[in-house]
Amino acid sequence: MTFPSSDGVPLEGWFIPADSDRLVIANHPMGFNRSGLPTHLEPWLSIWGPTGNDVEVNFVPDYRILHEAGYNVLAYDLRNMGLSGAANGGAVTSGLFEGRDVLGSLRYAAHRSDTKNMAVALFSRCLGAASTFAALRQDPKASEGIECLVACQPVSDRVIMGRMLEILGAGEDRIDDLDRRVKISTSIGFQERPDTAWAKYVRIPTYLYGVHDDLLTTPDDLEQAFEMLDVEDKKLAWVQGTSMRWDGYLEFQRRPEPILEWLSRHLA
């Protein structure tokens, strides 16, 4: 299955049908694809292992849980990842341009004959969540076609990259130097990219969650997203007892009940 982003980039995905009028659109994290990421293998192990994230993340069980709960599922690869098309010189922009992919998925669902009348929820992780924030900034009317959002671990670039610099031994004080290099390379510095403050563009019921002691971020960054959400119907849930960010991505398949209850309540 393929469909275009709002700016024409070809996106590859899966549509998993169910016997219902409810649809969940899944948006994956940075560097992942719709299937997940085999971080227990090289070269990903060398990249993420130093941060403690050295296990496989497989999203297919998540789709099975959603399907068995009666939801149609649309899962796709964001631009420059998986099997989707290359764009913007191959640069990943923390959701700024990837938001166009979220808009493309919503427009695709709204025009498919078998999904156009379905109640829609977004299940967006990390980059997928930031891309959702960006999409709702780019096209505020897109909120009208979404019943609710599940947002897993959105993060601000300056926070996660600062933590990475510290873990890798370069020092968090080098963040401005890294920002300058990123801007030289991509023309888009951290300040221009979506961060958790962009949650202010979200005006739909939102279930927000993440690992409280995540080595790659700080609790106040996710708390900022919660405070900025421009909606009364919102919830912040913490994954406790771990410092591994990947445990946040695996939380749904390990303990699906809270999110399934949220989806059921808003897509009834």
What tens digit of pLDDT does each residue of 63-75 get?
999 999 999 999 9
SS3 162: helix
What tens digit of pLDDT does each residue of 191-243 get?
999 999 999 999 999 999 999 999 999 999 999 999 999 999 999 999 999 99
Pull the structure tokens for residue 238: 């913490």
> Given a cut of 90, is residue 35 above it in pLDDT?
yes
Q: How far apart are CA 118 and CA 213, in angstroms?
A: 37
Instruction: Look at the pTM and tell me if it is higher than 0.95.
Output: yes
Confidence of residue 268 (pLDDT cuts 50, 70, 90): confident
What tens digit of pLDDT does each residue of 95-128 get?
999 999 999 999 999 999 999 999 999 999 999 9
Q: Which residues, other chains included, contact 23 with Cβ-Cβ below 8 Å and sequence gap of 6+?
A: 71, 72, 73, 74, 109, 115, 118, 119, 120, 121
Q: How far apart are CA 251 and CA 163, in angstroms?
A: 22
Q: Is 173 exposed, middle or buried (0-12, 13-18, 19+ CB in 10 A)?
A: exposed
